[in-house]
Amino acid sequence: MSFKSVRKFLIIGAVVLLPLTVCSQFPGGGFPGGGGGFQGGGFPGGGFPGGFGGRFPVQDQEGGQIPGGFPGGGGFGGFGGGFGMGTEYDPTTTRNDVEFTSSNLPIVIIQTEGKTLTNKEKSGATMKIIDNGKKRNKITDPANGYDGNIKIKLRGNSSLFFDQKRFTFETVTPEGKANDVELLGMPADNDWVLLAPYNDVSMMRDAFAFDMWNNMGHWAPHTRYCEVVMNGKYIGVYTLCEKIKRGKNRIDIAKLTSKDTTGIDITGGYIVRVDPPDEGEKSFTSDVPGIMNTNVGGMFGGFGGGMGGFGGMGGRATVTWTIFYPKASKLTDKQQEYISDYVNTVEKVIQSDDFADPVNGYAKYIDVESFVDYFIHTELSLNADGLKRSTYFYKTKQNEDGTGGKLHAGTVWDYNLAYGNCNFANANNIEAWVYEGSETNPTPAMWKRLTEDPAFMAKVKARWKELRKDYLSIESINRFIDEHAAQLQEAQARQYTKYSDLLVPKREDGQNTQGQQNGGFGGFGGFGGGFPGGGGFGGFGGGGAAGMFSAYTVSSYDEEIGILKKWFADRIAFLDKNWK
């Protein structure tokens, strides 16, 4: 989960809220309650009653600063809880509250030798994998899936303050060199990810999204469910998957070296994504403003204590593209200029009057079929981050005869806030369109413009009709859900014993109560006024970090599976109606 823009404001707020003179600028709308901080510490409760107004500088369309921040700012009402962004993780402090001896899933055992893990540098560790196929896996069995060294670190953004952490790791030799190996049947490589399904009670949304993209004829990370023990303590159910990278078993594009700076050599391959850069990455901004849409209704359910409101973000804003491959340390200035110019050319051509021209329009620059598939994939998912965060593209190298070398949409990543599992960015509105933008981050305008080309939409409708006959039939989707739920049925009991706040007991009237977590935000009263265009957010959902983004709560795993099936049926019915 990204949601980086809000996270940055939260960090600022945690520091600036301290002077009460500042908090008195505007009364805001924050609830005074709350209580508790994240496990990493934070304000002990109560919250500040005041708020901010017009104190945060924000970027305008040209990337400059708008003095006074949120022009119509309702301001922060205060923090009821506190913050403890989990940029460090000491596995030895994890509660050992689940008795774990065996599983039907593969078992991954990691020993960090007492090291504290961070999201900056990888630490040396050892890893064993027990995978007996159809036979039961016991924690005392000898390792047979891997037994060796790794380098591991935390990964994620907002998910860093979840109790269940995510990890990136590299398989290495005893000397610390990259070691390409097969893991759980996946092709040999050395870069891997352990995804924590913490805020996805079904634990299968990422797996479904990746599997769908693979079945559409593209590469997406392959996945296997597993249960993980770290430093002798059970830390839950994880999805072990391939890390996105260039390679023959990953995104198979030409290798680009520092010598490839002219002619055909400079044309590829590249991997870029719509996302702010991580530390050490290079990026560029689009010349075409993105779409911000504040006409999306309320956001977040009210969190108990919290912020009175950010200003809404109306109109358009700057879209940031990050160069994912080549790495910044190996990317030359000429290559950076080439790929940024190419992407901006694509966006400008799509906005031009003759954008639909089959010879000199957008089809000259993009792989249309991949854009059609990515559009369908994203709109089905109703992903809160869709098109505007963790949105990957790759550009192939041009062939000697002048063919190829186009920009392809994909691969896919980060779908824990998809398929009805999110309460902002219109992600819980079954009749919303992702391409129309949301209130969180700017959506590249090219997607909406493409829907204005009858030829593009004809391809979308034809492809949708084809997919609905097979992989995206209701029967096929339900079969996927049932098969994966069966795999996870035993392990889910341990997952929700370990992280008991993820399931919310029913009240006597049969309705779910609002969950409470150990620590977390006291809450946000809402986001109002603000950027030109008005609107804004309605307020965060309650229950600490677990409920922070959730569109709903459930009291059992079976209830979650039922809701997921119904959501797919309703969303597909909407798309069927519009994509006849």
Within 10 angstroms of residue 16's Cβ, the number of other Cβ atoms is: 14
| pLDDT of 296 strictly over 80 | no
Give the model confidence (pLDDT) of 451-462 as tens digits.
999 999 999 999
> What is the pLDDT averaged over residues 349-368?
98
Helix (H, G, I), strand (E, B) or coil at 224: strand
**Which pLDDT band, with edges at 50, 70 and 90, does 512 fall under?**
low
Give the model confidence (pLDDT) of 422-474 as tens digits.
999 999 999 999 999 998 999 999 999 999 999 999 999 999 999 999 999 99
- Determine the Cα–Cα distance for residues 417 and 300; give it in Å rounded to an integer: 13
Structure tokens that stand for 392 in this block: 């990957």
Task: Say if residues 264 and 528 touch (Cβ distance below 8 Å).
Answer: no
Task: Say if residues 225 and 237 touch (Cβ distance below 8 Å).
Answer: yes
- Determine the Cα–Cα distance for residues 236 and 196; give it in Å rounded to an integer: 8
How much is the pLDDT for 548? 72
**Which pLDDT band, with edges at 50, 70 and 90, does 159 fall under?**
confident
Closest listed residue to residue 156, CA positions, set 211, 109, 208, 118: 118
Helix (H, G, I), strand (E, B) or coil at 247: coil
Task: Determine the length of the chain.
Answer: 580
Closest listed residue to residue 407, CA positions, set 450, 441, 465: 450
Mean pLDDT of the chain: 81
- Determine the Cα–Cα distance for residues 307 and 30; give it in Å rounded to an integer: 5
How much is the pLDDT for 161? 84
How much is the pLDDT for 463? 98
CA distances from 220 to 244, 251, 317 (A): 8, 8, 30
How much is the pLDDT for 208? 98
**Which pLDDT band, with edges at 50, 70 and 90, does 73 fall under?**
very low
| Surface-to-core class of residue 97, CB atoms within 10 Å of its CB (0-12 exposed, 13-18 middle, 19+ buried) | exposed
How much is the pLDDT for 316? 57
How much is the pLDDT for 513? 54
Structure tokens that stand for 258 in this block: 């520092």
Percent of the chain with pLDDT over 90: 69
**Which pLDDT band, with edges at 50, 70 and 90, does 157 fall under?**
confident
| pLDDT of 76 strictly over 70 | no
| Region of residue 304 (left: phi > 0; alpha: psi -120 to 50; beta: else) | left
pLDDT, greater one: 498 or 113: 498
Helix (H) or strand (E) holding 88: strand 88-89
Give the model confidence (pLDDT) of 218-237 as tens digits.
999 999 999 999 999 999 99
- Determine the Cα–Cα distance for residues 321 and 327; give it in Å rounded to an integer: 14
Closest listed residue to residue 87, CA positions, set 44, 36, 121, 124: 121
**Which pLDDT band, with edges at 50, 70 and 90, does 295 fall under?**
low
- Determine the Cα–Cα distance for residues 415 and 393; give it in Å rounded to an integer: 17
Within 10 angstroms of residue 134's Cβ, the number of other Cβ atoms is: 5
How much is the pLDDT for 252? 98
Radius of gyration of the chain (CA): 24
How much is the pLDDT for 510? 67
Strands in 211-274 per DSSP E? 223-230, 233-242, 270-274
